[in-house]
Structure 1
Amino acid sequence: MGSTKYITSMGELSRKDNSLCFQKNQKNVYLPIENIKEIYCMNEISINTKLLDYISSKNIVIHFFNYYGFYSGTFYPREQYNSGRLLVKEVEAYSSEKRIIIAKKIVSAIAVNIDEVLYHYYKHKNKEVKRTIDWIRNDFKIQLLQLDDIQQIMLLEGELWQRFYWTFQFVLPTDFMLNKRVRRPPDNPINALISFGNSLLYTKCISIIYQTHLNQTISYLHEPSDGRFSLSLDLSEMFKPIIVFRTIFDLVNNKKLRVKDHFEKKVNYCILNEEGRQIFIKAFEERLNKTFLHKKLNRKMTYKTAIKMDCYKLIKYLLEGKYFEFYSLKEGQ
Structure 2
Amino acid sequence: MPIKDTKELYCFNEITLSTKLLELLSKAGIIVHFFGYYENYIGTFYPKNYLMSGKLTVAQAQAYVDRRMEIANAIVCGIAKNIHFTLYHYYRHGKKDFKPYLDWLKNDVVRLAGAAKNIKQLLSLEGEIWARFYASFKFILPEEFMMNKRVKRPPDNPINALVSFGNSLLYSKTVSQIYHTHLNQTIAYLHEPTERRFSLSLDLCEVFKPIIVFKTIFECVNNRRISAAKHFDKKLNYAMLNEAGKKIFIDAFETRINQTFEHPVLKRRVTYKQAIRLDAYKLIKFIMEDRTFKPFDAEDNL
TM (normalized to structure 1)?
0.88
Residue type matched to 2:195 in 1?
Answer: D
Does 2:254 match 1:285? yes
How many residues align? The count is 302
Considering only CA atoms, is the larger Rg found in Structure 1 or Structure 2?
Answer: 1
Which residue of 57, 61, 64 maps to 1:94? 64
- Would you identify which runs of 4 or more consecutive aligned residues in structure 1 move more than 4 Å? none
Unaligned stretches of 5+ residues in structure 1: 1-30
Tell me what 1:150 maps to. 119
Tell me what 1:72 maps to. 42
Percent of aligned pairs with the same amino acid: 55
Q: Residue 11 of structure 2 contacts residue 35 of structure 2 at CA under 8 Å; is this kept in 1?
A: yes
Structure with greater strand percent: 1
Tell me what 2:180 maps to. 211
The separation in 2 between residues aligned to 1:203 and 1:91, in whole angstroms, is 23
The separation in 2 between residues aligned to 1:293 and 1:210, in whole angstroms, is 24
Deviations 1:277-320 (A, max 9, x none): 11011110111110112335443211011111100000011001
The separation in 2 between residues aligned to 1:59 and 1:297, in whole angstroms, is 27
Deviations 1:44-92 (A, max 9, x none): 1111111111111111100011233222211111111011110010000
SS of equivalent residue, structure 1 residue 322: coil
Tell me what 2:27 maps to. 57
Post-superposition offset of 1:268:
6.5
Q: Which structure has more RCO (C-alpha within 8 Å, separation ≥ 6)?
A: 2
Tell me what 1:247 maps to. 216
The separation in 2 between residues aligned to 1:86 and 1:294, in whole angstroms, is 26
The separation in 2 between residues aligned to 1:62 and 1:299, in whole angstroms, is 30
SS of equivalent residue, structure 1 residue 161: helix
Does 2:38 match 1:38? no
**Shift in alpha-carbon separation, 1:290–1:36, aligned structure 2, 3 A:** same
Q: Residue 185 of structure 1 contacts residue 269 of structure 1 at CA under 8 Å; is this kept in 2?
A: no
Post-superposition offset of 1:188:
0.4
Deviations 1:148-178 (A, max 9, x none): 3111100100000001001000010111010
Q: Within 5 Å, which residues of 2 pair with 1:141-220?
A: 141-220=110-189
The separation in 2 between residues aligned to 1:300 and 1:121, in whole angstroms, is 26
Q: Residue 264 of structure 1 contacts residue 271 of structure 1 at CA under 8 Å; is this kept in 2?
A: yes
Structure with greater helix percent: 2
Unaligned stretches of 5+ residues in structure 2: none
Post-superposition offset of 1:35:
2.2
TM (normalized to structure 2)?
0.97
Deviations 1:189-235 (A, max 9, x none): 00000000000000000000000000010000000001000000001
Post-superposition offset of 1:267:
5.2
Post-superposition offset of 1:332:
2.1
Q: Within 5 Å, which residues of 2 pair with 1:262-273?
A: 262-266=231-235, 270-273=239-242
The separation in 1 between residues aligned to 2:158 and 2:91, in whole angstroms, is 24
Deviations 1:19-51 (A, max 9, x none): xxxxxxxxxxxx211121110011111111111
The separation in 2 between residues aligned to 1:277 and 1:73, in whole angstroms, is 19
Tell me what 1:26 maps to. none
The separation in 1 between residues aligned to 2:38 and 2:68, in whole angstroms, is 36
Q: Residue 89 of structure 1 contacts residue 319 of structure 1 at CA under 8 Å; is this kept in 2?
A: yes
SS of equivalent residue, structure 2 residue 108: helix
The separation in 2 between residues aligned to 1:268 and 1:288, in whole angstroms, is 29
Post-superposition offset of 1:136:
0.9
The separation in 1 between residues aligned to 2:169 and 2:182, in whole angstroms, is 22
Q: Within 5 Å, which residues of 2 pair with 1:219-230?
A: 219-230=188-199
The separation in 2 between residues aligned to 1:297 and 1:85, in whole angstroms, is 27
Q: Residue 232 of structure 2 contacts residue 240 of structure 2 at CA under 8 Å; is this kept in 1?
A: yes
The separation in 1 between residues aligned to 2:188 and 2:96, in whole angstroms, is 37
